[in-house]
Amino acid sequence: MTRIVAALILAGCTGGGGDTAEERDYGRTQTTDLGSWTVTIAPDPDPVPPVDLFALDVTIPGAEGLFVDVDADMPSHNHGMNTEPVVTEVGGGAFRVDGMQFHMTGDWRVTVAIDDGNTYERAFLWIDCCEPIQ
């Protein structure tokens, strides 16, 4: 926390609003930590609404029938979501995640975990929450 405040002061203007002091890759497609899977996420609605529930469509080619778990947290604030999302397999490597909620402004990290019985791999995808809804 102290680090972030310091970064804001160094930035010279009134300071950043969120916690994007570090550069992050907000790409919607990422590879899992051991490299076996490519995970793509699409929020619904897009952009993610502040504080309201939303869903995530997750595509993982080749992951048909595997155990997939999805969660999200704000590492810089050290907390997770106030909800427990539910993952439903849609078929063809597609999964629907209902019950996501980002209740604070800033960087959220979505963790997609895939267990194929041999390895447990995770992909991390960053989402900057949230664009104001006009």
Partner 1 sequence: MGCGSSGFSEEQLDILAAMTPVPAVPADSTNAVADDPNAAVLGRKLFFSTALSGDGQFSCASCHDPAQDFTDGLQLSEAAGQTGRHAPTVINAAYSRWQFWDGRCDSQWCQALGPIESPVEMAGTRLGVARAVYTDATLRAEYEALFGALTDFTDSRFPERARPAEDPTDPDALAWAQLSAADQADVNGVFANVGKAIAAYERLLVTGEGPLDAYIQGLLAEDESYRDALSPEAELGLELFVGKGLCHFCHSGPMLSNGEFHNVALGPRDWLPEGDNGRFDGIRAVRETPFNALGAFSDDTEGEAAQRLTFLALNIDAEGQFKTPGLRRVANTAPYMHGGHLDDLASVVEFYNLQEEEPEFGHLDETLAPLELSEEEAAALVVFMEEALDAELVDPSVATAP
Among the residue ranges 10-18, 35-43, 56-64, 87-95, the one whose residues contact partner 1 (CB under 8 A) = 10-18
Pick from 11, 10, 39: nearest CA to 27:
39
Identity of the amino acid at 46:
D
Closer CB to partner 1, 22 or 64, in the complex:
22
Among the residue ranges 28-36, 56-64, 95-103, 118-126, the one whose residues contact partner 1 (CB under 8 A) = 95-103
Residue 84 interacts with which of Cu ion, partner 1, none, CB < 5 to 8 Å by class:
partner 1
Q: List the x/- string, 73-92, binding to Cu ion by CB under 5 A.
A: -x--x---------------
Provide DSSP, 41-58.
EEEESSSPPSSSEEEEEE
**What is the torsional sign of CA 3, 104, 78, 123?**
negative
Rounded CA separation 128/1 (Å): 18
Judged by the rule CB under 8 A, the positions of this chain that interact with partner 1 are 1-2, 5, 8-9, 11-18, 20, 50-53, 76-86, 98-99, 101, 103-106, 130-134
